[in-house]
Amino acid sequence: QVQLVESGGGSVQAGGSLKLSCAGSGGTYSSYCMGWFRQAPGKEREGVVGIGSDGSPTYADSVKGRFTISKDSAKNTLYLQMNNLKPEDAGMYYCAANVWGGAYCYGGLLRAGYAYWGQGTQVTVSS
């Protein structure tokens, strides 16, 4: 059974940095597509960045140039380096994953593209 556990959230001032981690278990993550989503209070959960099973990323326009996704398949861990954080980046950050057997998995920024979800880690950004 696939399990995802996020960590690394916290409180930072605007302009600061955080690195989130998502540790996966129960699968061979080298063939998975994975992504990061966030949800602010009263708002819909939105895609931040996805990475396909071929390693190609798709970033939301709001985070391009500031956030970087990476995946360590040997450790079954997904990372999100967040730089130059803004108050509007605050929210609960969720890790997500999906797999299509041996086929290519795109991932992307839509919730429907993912079957497995973590519990989230909170990010707070003060101005």
Question: What's the pLDDT at 100?
Answer: 82
Residues 52/107, Cβ–Cβ less than 8 Å: yes
Q: Tell me the C-alpha distance between 62 and 93, whole Å.
A: 15
Percentage of the chain with pLDDT > 70?
100
- DSSP, collapsed to helix, strand or coil, labels residue 89 as helix
Closest CA to 71 of 121, 20, 108: 20
What are the tens digits of pLDDT across the range 61-89? 999 999 999 998 889 999 999 999 999 99
Q: Answer whether residue 27 shows pLDDT above 80.
A: no
**Rg of the chain's alpha carbons, rounded to an integer?**
14
